[in-house]
Amino acid sequence: MRGDTWKIVLTIVLIIAAIFYLWPTFQWFTMSASDRTAMQQNNPDAFANLQKKALKLGLDLQGGMRVVLEVDKSQLDDNAKQDARDRALEIIRNRVDQFGVAEPVIQAQGSDRIVVELPALQDPERARNLIGKTALLEFRLVESPENSDLLIKRLDQIAGKLSPDAAKTPTADTAATPFADPFADTTKLAADTTKDTTAALANTDQSNVLTQYLDFNGVAYQVTEEDYAAVDRIVNNPEIKAALPADVELAWAIRPEMINGRQRRQLYILKKKVELTGAHLKAANPNYDQFHKPVVDFELDREGGEIFGKLTGANINKPLAILLDGRVESAPNIRSKIRDRGQITLGGNATFFDAKDMATILRAGALPAPVKIVENNVIGPTLGKDSVDAGINGLLISFIVVAAFMIIYYKLAGVVADIVLFLNILFLLAVMAALGATLTLPGIAGIILTIGMAVDANVLIFERMREEVRTGKKVAACIEAGYERALASIVDSNLTTLIAAGVLYYFGTGPIRGFAVTLGAGIIISMYTALVVSKLILHTRRNAATLSV
């Protein structure tokens, strides 16, 4: 018994570890739909964490998301067009891998399309943002409050002269703008206006069509989510765009934020000049700042550090807009000169997962060309709830029938085999949860096959024990001889199956790989439970007069 101490300790540790890894799965699948919704609204980080740790169901059991992307090659030269799809495919694969989706399918379709299938995905919007972003990172200066105010008032004048139809349906007649180029030089405008702001504004016949929606906070204009669409139509009108100075443009924030109890989105007036791009980025990682707000820590290369140092040093106490794919992530004030290391603060209602996704797409690199989603389906289980229930019922029935047979045929030894069988399934599911694997119908088939292999090993051991009992040996000797004589057969049969599982994993894809992983892990676990755990239990009977087998 003394030599069994480490085996007992190891088995107890494995049982505790299995319960630890399966506890989130138990919590997740025993929660009602209303409890999940409440948790998602009240504590989204905890919800996402629990969802991530729970055992995932595959596309055939739980559904998922299927997205078809098309690479826009119109802006590329002939050389860049040749491998644009393949480069985009590799970058999207890197993003999805870092996103943590188990067993995704990412493959090319035609000359410019990419198909992405994400099983068991619960947040389609997050996935769409992750795989569809070009990841063009830019740093730009924000226009001064004085010039922003003057510009908005001028745009308001033009908005007041737009017909309702023109505001809803943009036209391409930019030459018809009533303002030839009033903001051609905003610096000059600002200087002139500073001399006599009152006089300048006195000539302004404001319409209030645009300004009624806007609330300036010193850096950007806030628009409520209810008014966002209306303002977006106005600012994207060709006549409004044509009235913008050549070096200025308008840009929305990526996401809204809750201000005074209402969802509001920021509209920024930015300098067009790009001061720095993500081309100089060396590293990006999610983190929290001193206020426990999510941020992305970044590191620039040497050249980028020099550019960033000059930029931040010359604009201390001014806001610097950080844009991703043309939308403003945030516009923090520059407090000191920054060189090669900095933080991207996330505006709005950003969570740590937003920071993680942003770091992921920045690390994976920018796509060679914009991609557009041409097909987007959130799909249900392909085999339906009936098939899911049938698979689970098959698993339970096979376990019950095998367990009953073992007890009837092998008596007390059969009970030991059933305990081992239960631990076998417990350990296998825990391994899948720990690895973040996805359970599919082929995976369930692998578990059932594993049950069969585990029973087969116990049958070999018990039959050798029966032979030893018939020779009149003592119980302890029968147990030792039984395991010793069955060892070679068990190893041979399991090893060949393990090799087959390895081949399936190497050449297979998707569900085939899932089956191979389940089968391979199950074989290793069944060998441990059959040769170690069952022997430990039977050792408690070594001093008994008879062996019930």
User: Which tens digits make up the pLDDT trace of 348-376?
Assistant: 677 887 888 788 778 777 777 788 888 88
Confidence class for position 118, pLDDT limits 50, 70, 90: confident
Which tokens sit at 406? Answer: 């073992």
Residue whose structure tokens are 């069988």: 421
Residue 474 pLDDT greater than 80, yes or no: yes
Q: What counts of helices (H) and strands (E) characterise the chain?
A: 20, 18
pLDDT value of position 137: 85
pLDDT value of position 148: 92
- The mean pLDDT value for 278-294 works out to 85
- Range with the poorest average pLDDT among 1-15, 207-221, 376-390: 376-390
- The mean pLDDT value for 234-255 works out to 90
Confidence class for position 387, pLDDT limits 50, 70, 90: low
pLDDT value of position 145: 92
Confidence class for position 510, pLDDT limits 50, 70, 90: low
In DSSP terms, 221 is beta-bridged to 216, 267
Residue 13 pLDDT greater than 90, yes or no: yes
Confidence class for position 379, pLDDT limits 50, 70, 90: low
Which tokens sit at 537? Answer: 């239990």
The C-alpha angle 346, 326, 365, rounded to 5 degrees, equals: 75
pLDDT value of position 143: 93
Confidence class for position 199, pLDDT limits 50, 70, 90: very low
**How far from 309 is each of 83, 270, 539, CA to CA, in Å?**
36, 20, 72
8 Å CB contact between 469 and 536: no
Q: Tell me how far the alpha carbon of residue 417 is from its chain's centroid.
A: 41
Handedness of CA 50, 55, 59, 61 (dihedral sign): negative
- The mean pLDDT value for 117-130 works out to 74
Q: Tell me how far the alpha carbon of residue 432 is from its chain's centroid.
A: 18
- Rounded percentage of the chain residues whose pLDDT exceeds 90: 19
Look at residues 386, 458, 388 and name the one whose alpha carbon lies nearest to residue 422. 458
Residue whose structure tokens are 């009533």: 178
pLDDT value of position 200: 42
3-state secondary structure of 302: helix
DSSP structure class, residue 278 = G
Residue 180 pLDDT greater than 50, yes or no: no
Look at residues 75, 71, 72 and name the one whose alpha carbon lies nearest to residue 90. 71
Residue 105 pLDDT greater than 70, yes or no: yes
Alpha helices in 243-351, H assignment, sequence order: 302-314
Backbone dihedral region for residue 120 (phi beyond 0: left; psi -120 to 50: alpha; all else: beta) = left
The C-alpha angle 227, 233, 238, rounded to 5 degrees, equals: 155
Confidence class for position 166, pLDDT limits 50, 70, 90: very low
* pTM exceeds cut of 0.85: no
Mean pLDDT of the chain: 81
Which tokens sit at 72? Answer: 């826009």
pLDDT value of position 330: 86
| Most confident listed range (9-13, 42-46, 169-173) | 9-13
User: Which tens digits make up the pLDDT trace of 16-72?
Assistant: 999 999 999 999 888 887 888 788 777 777 887 887 788 877 767 777 788 888 888
Residue 185 pLDDT greater than 50, yes or no: no
Q: What's the chain's Rg over C-alpha atoms? A: 33
pLDDT value of position 190: 40
pLDDT value of position 129: 76
Residue 206 pLDDT greater than 70, yes or no: no
Look at residues 217, 223, 224 and name the one whose alpha carbon lies nearest to residue 145. 217
8 Å CB contact between 360 and 349: no
In DSSP terms, 283 is beta-bridged to 299
Distance CA 277, CA 266 (A): 22
Residue that wins the pLDDT comparison between 176 and 505: 505
DSSP structure class, residue 162 = S
Backbone dihedral region for residue 65 (phi beyond 0: left; psi -120 to 50: alpha; all else: beta) = beta
Residue 394 pLDDT greater than 80, yes or no: no
Burial class of residue 68 in the structure, from the number of CB atoms within 10 Å of its CB (0-12 exposed, 13-18 middle, 19+ buried): middle
Residue that wins the pLDDT comparison between 325 and 253: 253
Distance CA 197, CA 200 (A): 5
3-state secondary structure of 101: coil
Confidence class for position 308, pLDDT limits 50, 70, 90: very high
Q: Which residues are CB-contacts of 425 (< 8 A; sequence separation ≥ 6)?
A: 399, 447, 450, 451
Query: Where do the DSSP E strands lie in 254-326?
Result: 257-259, 262-271, 276-277, 281-288, 294-300, 320-324
Look at residues 37, 57, 39 and name the one whose alpha carbon lies nearest to residue 47. 39
Residue 98 pLDDT greater than 70, yes or no: no
Read out DSSP for 396-460?
A: HHHHHHHHHHHHHHHHHHHHHHHHHHHHHHHHHHHHHHHHT-EE-HHHHHHHHHHHHHHHHHHHH
**How far from 220 is each of 146, 285, 429, CA to CA, in Å?**
12, 27, 51
Distance CA 64, CA 82 (A): 32
Neighbouring CB atoms inside 10 A of 384's CB total 12
- The mean pLDDT value for 469-482 works out to 87
Residue 483 pLDDT greater than 70, yes or no: yes
Q: Which residues are CB-contacts of 521 (< 8 A; sequence separation ≥ 6)?
A: 428, 431, 432
- The mean pLDDT value for 439-458 works out to 83
